[in-house]
Structure 1
Amino acid sequence: MSETIASAVERIMNAVLRKNLDEATTKQGVILKLLHLAGWNTFDVLEVVPEYTVEYRRVDFALNPNTANTVFIEVKRPGENLENHQQQLLEYCFQEGVKLAVLTNGKTWWLYLPLRQGNWEKRRFLTIDLESQEPAIVEQRFMGYLSREKVISGQAVSEAENLVQSRQRVEITNKAISEAWSQIIETPDEILVDLISETAERICGFTTDPELVRKFLSRRVRALKGPLDGRSPLVSARAVNAPAAAQTQAEGQGSPLPITLDPPDSAVFLDALLRTKEAWIEEHLDDGRKELRLWKAQNMRSSSSVIGNLRSKPRYRKGSWRKSGLVKIHVTIERPAQGIAP
């Protein structure tokens, strides 16, 4: 059975932890071993170049040198603090226009995209740790970003860029969600105002002025936006509104509209809905009648909730569906054999 990176990790780590390896031994026993298992011909000094010259200084290893897909590897002895050597390595890369670089002490491998904007930490896109990560993860990351095939083809850099961009998208999205939340509580959407007004009217029996709701939300902005007494905003808001919530529950929030699907599995239903972009809603009324409505679902996505989307519609919301004389709805992909309500 041929040796793999995953099978070699434990043996390599035993050597690193049990022996006081110096930098030269680390290069021979750890770095070159892993590069060989990643597909590199470590005996070919034109493919894996030791002591590669950059002006008057040297980089420990250059993979695939003098090409658009060169990788620089700087090696330190085990236990060495890598943070002290980031600038040195990245300066080598700037001078040579190298897009992918590695700083390692044998146990920890820091992978960089040196030509990206930002400080050293932002240019570091991945850490491989032979001690703390599962051997299968170590192998997956080595083969994904440092294998001979991925480096020479340019895939290593492109996949690293995609990884960074996907993280940036998450950061941007999280920031947008936070800003959207702030906008909603500072300038409430009319749907939110209507929902609170309808619920309050059902509880007390009196028509609720929407302006009162807006003022109520305005008074809660500070509690919702910032922590109280060191607690999180969400916990603080719950604490502030606990008496009102208890009273609301005591008086009855009302139940959600019963909804059944055909096919009954929501994931299967959503998959079919994404293909058809429409479904049929069979409304069961309290006088025994049934009415059929066409649901245009062009805005549904693979992450959407079918039940949640239906219950967000004004006619099917809590506090509204009973007023419409509804008892339940049954939603199907195939059209039932009856007419369509206007």
Structure 2
Amino acid sequence: MGLRETVERIAAMSRPPANEEAAKIRVLVPILAELGWDVHDHRDTGEVLWEHPVGPGSGAGQKGRADIVLAKTGHGHRLVCLIEAKSPKEDLSKHVDQLMGYAFHEGVDICVLTNGLEWWLYLPREPGPAASRRFAELRLSSSSHQQVADDLEAYMGKANLYGGEAERRAKEALSKLREAERLKTEMPKVWRRMLDEPDQELVDLFARRVHERVRLRPSPEVVTAVLQGKSVDAVPATVPGDPPKGRHPRAQVPRQESPRRGAAMASRRPRAVVLWGNTTEVKSWVGVMVCVAGAVYQRHPHDFLERTKAMAGRKRPFASQDPADLLRAGRISSAEVWVETNLSADDTLKKCKKLLEVFGYSASDLEVLTKE
């Protein structure tokens, strides 16, 4: 019978063990045997020691006794795992401190507290309170039997305890549990701080999602108030300069290129760029390109040049720190970076929207308001 079958048989018992001794005989002995331990060697130098004296004390009569201790034999005799067995009716939490005291004193790698159907596994030499040193909790009645068998083999298998692999895996499991617990504690705090003091990135993201859904662009003040759970009745709902009910002519990229449509677009002069809730006046299509590039650069100054390599033409880059690299260089305000502005009105719009998409934004974030 294999380990999984043994776990399944124990989990299916009609009546759980009545006391500690029954738990040892009906549960622990068959499981330890499947894990490779010689449960029939009762010598003091054997690998499975029963009622073994442990803990501080000057003599055997003054020491405590561990129900089962697993030992590494051969070159020397070292205790590697201490097991305390309790009745299924016992509250295991009442015995943790004693178990950890014994295990730490004896210097074992792993210690186990079990009532046969529930197994608590600890790393006794780790720092912190006992509860923070528990790296696994196995329940034969409710967990996957294969998973229980795999975990028992990983942490209590003879070969793994002998070679130190059990302790290594246990430390990995404990580290992941502690990381998960820290995330569980810290993530709500981070989210609360983000809502209480939203940064520009969060405000812009929220405003963009609102605009995509209802085609209205909330002001930063409205977004901040909503994120903080405050009333927004007295705050303007949209950014000044957004199109009112009567439409402003809006520059759009044509679906198909044609000389006539391109000429019509070129005849319109841009008057403002609306991007991420901010409205900026411009006087030309060069101004549109520089305005949009500057806004993106402010958010991504460290990787702007690297990421805009994807927008390079066949012979020239789109952005450069050397204006001589470009046919018609437009300087981004307050930066030693230039962008290509030798573009038609249509191409300017395309480049601006492509630039937004390269940095993970939506092309719909951009509106160019034009004069008739």
TM-score by length of 2: 0.56
Unpaired segments ≥5 residues, structure 2? 58-62, 238-244, 246-252, 254-306, 314-343
Does the CA-based 8 Å contact 1:185-1:218 persist in structure 2? Answer: no
Greater Rg by CA: 2
Write the distance in 2 (CA, Å) between the matches of 1:28 and 1:312: 65
Closer, same or farther: CA 10–311 of 1 in aligned 2, 3 Å: same
Q: Distance in 1 between matches of 2:30 and 2:216?
A: 76
Q: Kindly indicate whether the alpha-carbon contact (under 8 Å) linking 1:196 and 1:213 is maintained by their aligned counterparts in 2.
A: no
Using the alignment, how far apart are the partners of 1:196 and 1:25 within structure 2?
A: 62
What are the residue-to-residue correspondences of 1:232-251 with 2, within 5 Å? none
Query: Once the two structures are superposed, what CA deviation does each residue of 1:23-55 show, in whole Å capped at 9, x if it has no partner?
Result: 223212210110110111222341111111114
Q: Given the superposition, is the C-alpha separation of residues 37 and 280 from structure 1 closer, same or farther in structure 2, using an over 3 Å criterion?
A: same
SS at match of 2:160: helix
Structure 2 residue 105 is matched with structure 1 residue 107: no
Q: 1:215: how far off?
A: 6.9
Corresponding letter in the other structure for 2:31: L
Gaps of 5+ in 1: 225-236, 245-250, 252-256, 258-276, 297-308, 326-342
1:36 aligns with 2:82: no
The answer to whether the aligner puts 1:64 opposite 2:61 as a matched pair is: no
Q: Which residue matches 1:128? A: 138
| SS in structure 1 at match of 2:136 | strand
Contact 1:282 / 1:292 at 8 angstroms: preserved in 2?
no
Query: Compared with structure 1, are the counterparts of its residues 278 and 107 closer, same or farther at alpha carbon in structure 2 (3 Å cutoff)?
Result: farther
Aligned to 1:228: none
Matched residue count? 255
Amino acid at match of 2:25: Q
Quote the residue 2:85 is aligned against.
75
Counterparts of 1:81 and 1:190, CA distance in 2: 52
* C-alpha contact (below 8 Å) 1:311/1:317 kept by paired residues: no
Are the aligned partners of 2:79 and 2:107 in contact in 1 as well (CA < 8 Å)?
A: no
Identify the match of residue 195 of structure 2 among 185, 194, 216. 185
Partner of 1:52: 52
Counterparts of 1:288 and 1:142, CA distance in 2? 65
Distance 1:68 1:317 in 2: 68
Letter in 2 for 1:10: E
Q: 2:5 aligns with which of 7, 18, 30?
A: 7
Structure 2 residue corresponding to 1:94, chosen from 68, 91, 104: 104
- 1:18 alignment partner, SS class: coil
**Structure 1 144/195 Cα, relative in aligned 2: closer, same or farther at 3 Å?**
closer
CA distance in 2, matches of 1:27, 1:119: 28
Query: 2:159: which partner in 1?
Result: 149
Question: Which residue matches 1:248?
Answer: none
Letter in 2 for 1:93: A
1:173, distance to aligned residue in structure 2 (A): 3.7
> Residues 226-237 of structure 1 correspond to what in structure 2 (within 5 A)?
none
Residue type of the alignment partner of 2:47: E
The 3 A distance-change label for structure 1 pair 279 and 100 is farther
Mapped to 2, the partners of 1:110 and 1:186 lie a distance apart of 41
The CA distance in 2 between the partners of 1:197 and 1:9, in whole Å, is: 55
Per the alignment, residue 365 of structure 2 pairs with 319
Contact kept in structure 1, 2:16 and 2:88, CA below 8 Å: no
Matched residue SS, 1:217: helix
- CA distance 1:170–1:109, change in 2 (3 Å): closer
Q: Distance in 2 between matches of 1:149 and 1:223?
A: 61
Give TM-score scaled by structure 1 length: 0.60
Separation in 2 of the partners of 1:47 and 1:118? 30
Name the counterpart of 2:170.
160
Structure 1's 292 and 317: CA in aligned 2 closer, same or farther, altered over 3 A? closer
Q: What's the % identity of the aligned pairs?
A: 26
CA distance in structure 2 between the partners assigned to 1:7 and 1:87 by the alignment = 33
Range 118-127 or range 101-110, more displaced: 118-127
